Amino acid sequence: MSKIKLLVAIPVVLVLGVLLILGYQHANQPFRDFTMSEKKLVKDRWVETADYKLKVVGVKEEKQKKAGELAWSNLIVSVLIENKKHQNIRSQLLGEIFLSSEKASSGQALDILNEDGHSAVFKLGKAIPCQIIFETPLRDVTDLTKVWMTVMQNKEHQYTKYVYHF
């Protein structure tokens, strides 16, 4: 009886092992196509992405509030953005734009405002001046050479990282 169990158990274990290995390889397959390219954003020059055109116009800092020992400030990046798609791309931009520093990511954009201080609405084919607001700890922006703005775009496992050094 134990020989029959052994003859059944060995092939079952082998089949499960093969299925486990094949499943692992299949689950990780999309990441083999992953590519990353990096492009620089330069002040007063248009950069064209798949969904919009972006031009950095200026940067300023507004000191905000003090919470305990940590002081906060707003870093405001003035940009021109032209929508190339038929839908509103504001939420897409908020998900793609963030601040980075030597230490780590300092945070995503809080909001994108138009000239009147309201949430920006991007119409197809029209460049709109707006401000991207980042709220960040003051210690991260005291030396702007150590902080940069990153715009990350993903198109079918091909990432393009647009970097603006302040």
- pLDDT per residue as tens digits for the range 71-124: 667 788 899 999 888 777 888 888 888 887 776 666 778 889 988 889 888 888
From the list 120, 144, 118, the residue with the least C-alpha distance to 58 is: 144
Q: How many CB atoms lie within 10 A of CB 15?
A: 10
Model pLDDT, residue 60: 84
Cα 153 to chain center, whole Å? 7
* Total-model pTM: 0.68
**Mean pLDDT throughout 53-68?**
78
User: What pLDDT is attached to residue 16?
Assistant: 92
Q: 135 and 115 in one domain?
A: yes
The answer on 39 and 21 residing in a single domain is: no
In this predicted structure, the answer to whether residue 61 has a pLDDT above a threshold of 70 is yes
pLDDT over 70 (residue 2): yes
Per-residue pLDDT averaged across 21-41, rounded? 74
Residues 117 and 93 in one domain: yes
pLDDT > 90 in the chain, percent: 11
* Bridge partners, 105 (sequence order): 100
Same domain, 84 and 41: yes
Q: Both 56 and 24 in a single domain?
A: no
- Do 17 and 72 reside in the same domain of the chain? no
In this structure, the answer to whether residues 26 and 72 fall within a common structural domain is: no
- Give the pLDDT of residue 131: 92
Q: Are residues 149 and 84 in the same domain?
A: yes
Beta carbons within 8 Å of 96's beta carbon, 6+ residues apart: 151, 152, 153
User: Whose CA is closest to 76, among 144, 125, 122, 123?
Assistant: 144
User: Can you give the pLDDT at residue 156?
Assistant: 73
Cα of 111 vs its chain's centroid, Å: 14
Amino acid letter, 17: G
DSSP state of 124: B
pLDDT of residue 93: 86
Task: Return the SS3 of 156.
Answer: coil
8 A C-beta contact, residue 153 and residue 95 = no
Question: Residues 28, 40: one domain?
Answer: no
> Same structural domain for residues 25 and 51?
no
* d(C-alpha 1, C-alpha 23), whole Å: 33
Count how many domains the chain has. Answer: 2
136-154 pLDDT tens trace: 766 655 566 667 888 887 7
CATH classification of the domain holding 136: 2.60.40.1240
- Give the pLDDT band (50/70/90) at residue 130: very high
Domain of residue 18 covers 2-32
Token readout for 25 is 């390889």
